[in-house]
Amino acid sequence: MKPLARPFGQMMARAYPRDQLFDFLVPVPSHWRRRFSRGFDQALLLARELSRHTGIPVLCALRRTRHTAAQAGLTGRQRRDNIRGCFATGDPAAIRGRRLLLIDDVLTTGATVNAAAATLRRSGAAHVGVFTLARADRRPGIPALRNSSPEVSVHEREH
């Protein structure tokens, strides 16, 4: 929901790793059909709010090249197969040699952010970090909600 972007973005800003330097915040894009049906792109809203607090500009460096099935309910292997090859960069010169921070709402298996990060690295990014609002715990027997406050996770990938 759009109204949640501000408080969730503020939570991410408080948890932002101040010891890390990034040139751009790069939202993990939704496919245009999904954006149209929802009316918004949650990663872009979070990235914009985080940018307001950190001063790091948002760069929409990725685009979805094809519509994919929803990742929810898929196994890790199915998620990787579903997302494989669905990202492209528009202007590799804009990201070559840059330190980028991918922004997404939820990290489950990491298939989406790994595919996005691989695309950015192939286009010449020097460093790609990942910053998500929440991390899903899919271990058997673990309740869906462990507590009422969101988790922020940072994972880094070097080129």
Higher pLDDT, 109 or 151: 109
Greater pLDDT, 145 or 58 = 58
* % of the chain residues with pLDDT over 70: 68
The C-alpha atoms of residue 2 and residue 39 are separated, in whole angstroms, by: 9
Structure confidence by residue, pLDDT tens digits, 54-73: 999 999 999 888 666 666 66
Q: Which two tokens stand for residue 17?
A: 């790793």
- The domains of the chain are located at 21-68+76-139+146-158
User: What is the reported pTM?
Assistant: 0.76
Calpha distance 21→113 (Å, rounded): 19
**Contact assessment for residue 65 and residue 86, using Cβ atoms and an 8 Å cutoff:** yes
- In which residue are the tokens 């929901």 written? 1
CATH 3.90.1150.10 assigned to domain 21-68+76-139+146-158? The reply is no
Amino acid 23 reads D
List, for residues 19-61, the tens digit of each pLDDT value: 889 999 999 987 556 655 665 588 899 999 999 999 999 999 9
Q: Where are the alpha helices (DSSP H) in the chain?
A: 5-15, 32-38, 42-54, 76-83, 92-95, 111-122
pLDDT value at 131 more than 50: yes
Q: Which residue has the higher pLDDT, 78 or 102?
A: 102
| pLDDT value of residue 141 | 59
